[in-house]
Amino acid sequence: QVHLVESGGGVVQPGRSLRLSCPASGFTFSNFALHWVRQAPGKGLESLALISYDGSTEAYADSVRGRFTISRDNSKNTLYLEMSSLRVEDTAMYYCAREKSQGEAFGVLEHWGQGVLVTVSS
């Protein structure tokens, strides 16, 4: 059974940094592209970042490009999101998600973690 469990959230001041982790199990981690998606309070889902199965390709939303970095350690079956220069508007529930199919990303997010809350506040 596929398991994704986000951690690393919390309350942080504006301008500071935070790293989210998403260890995974139940599948061959290195075969799947992975995503970070967030939902701000009262708002909809927002795709933030994508990393290819082998870590060679990354993509970012305009709202986080240059501030957030997605990475993965296939030897530890873990996905990361390094967040810097955090803003109040980054306050949200952050989810990691796995593509449905192995290999290239097609944007079908079949498996999701339960999410981790990040609150940016002074």
Partner 1 sequence: SYVLTQPPSVSVAPGKTAKITCGGNNIVDKSVHWYQKRPGQAPMLVLLYDVDRPSGIPERFSGSNSGDTATLTISRVEAGDEADYYCQVWDGARDLPLFGGGTKLTVL
Binding to partner 1 by residue 37, rule CB under 8 A? yes
Binding to partner 1 by residue 106, rule CB under 8 A? yes
Of 35, 53, 79, 90, the residue at the interface with partner 1 (CB under 8 A) is 35
**Which residue, 25, 80, 83, is CA-closest to 55?**
80
Binding to partner 1 by residue 115, rule CB under 8 A? yes
Binding to partner 1 by residue 46, rule CB under 8 A? yes
What is the rounded distance in angstroms from the CA atom of residue 80 to the CA atom of residue 88? 21
Q: How many residues bind partner 1 (CB under 8 A)?
A: 27
Q: Smaller CB distance to partner 1: residue 111 or 120? A: 111
Binding to partner 1 by residue 40, rule CB under 8 A? no
Rounded to a whole number of angstroms, the CA Rg of the chain reads 13
**Which residue, 79, 77, 75, 24, is CA-closest to 49?**
79
